[in-house]
């Protein structure tokens, strides 16, 4: 039950995206994107949160295969959702200081996906190297 830095980043991004979605749905005058877009953002953040909790915090015997298989698209969708909130408010000249948080959250989502992809790649490479060394000895 250890929380790696990537898991902490994914946890932050998902919670921040979920808070954004709930805030904008409950306060429709605060944003210009329709309810459906924020509901979708909330659903994707919920799946990402499940991935961060089950696949990164809980022991290895627990796994959420769906979330693990779609991990990178989920975090790229979270980044797109955060950036679309900025874009929608920019169209109507309603940008304010809180849009900086949306940009930071989007950057965090992209970084979480990239770091997790790198971790997966190095784990697969090390596993392949171990198999090739074992096969060459035999």
pLDDT tens digits for 27-47? 766 555 567 888 899 999 999
Number of domains present in the structure of the chain: 1
pLDDT tens digits for 63-78? 888 877 888 899 999 9
3-state secondary structure at position 96: coil
93 torsion bin: left (phi>0), alpha (psi -120 to 50), beta (else): left
- Those residues of the chain that have pLDDT short of 50 are 1
Question: By residue range, what is the domain housing residue 68?
Answer: 5-137
User: What pLDDT does 16 receive?
Assistant: 93
User: What pLDDT does 30 receive?
Assistant: 52
Enter the tokens of residue 64: 């959420």
């Amino acid at each position: 039950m250890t929380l790696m830095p990537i898991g902490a980043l994914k946890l932050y991004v998902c919670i921040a995206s979920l808070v954004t979605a709930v805030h904008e749905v409950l306060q429709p005058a605060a944003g210009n994107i329709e309810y459906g877009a924020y509901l979708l953002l909330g659903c994707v953040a919920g799946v990402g949160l499940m991935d961060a909790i089950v696949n990164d915090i809980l022991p290895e015997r627990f796994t959420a295969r769906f979330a693990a298989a779609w991990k990178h698209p989920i975090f790229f969708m979270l980044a797109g959702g955060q950036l679309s909130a900025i874009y929608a408010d920019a169209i109507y000249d309603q940008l304010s200081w809180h849009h900086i948080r949306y940009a930071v959250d989007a950057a965090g989502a992209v970084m979480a996906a990239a770091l997790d992809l790198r971790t997966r790649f190095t784990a697969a490479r090390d596993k392949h190297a171990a198999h090739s060394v074992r096969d060459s000895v035999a």
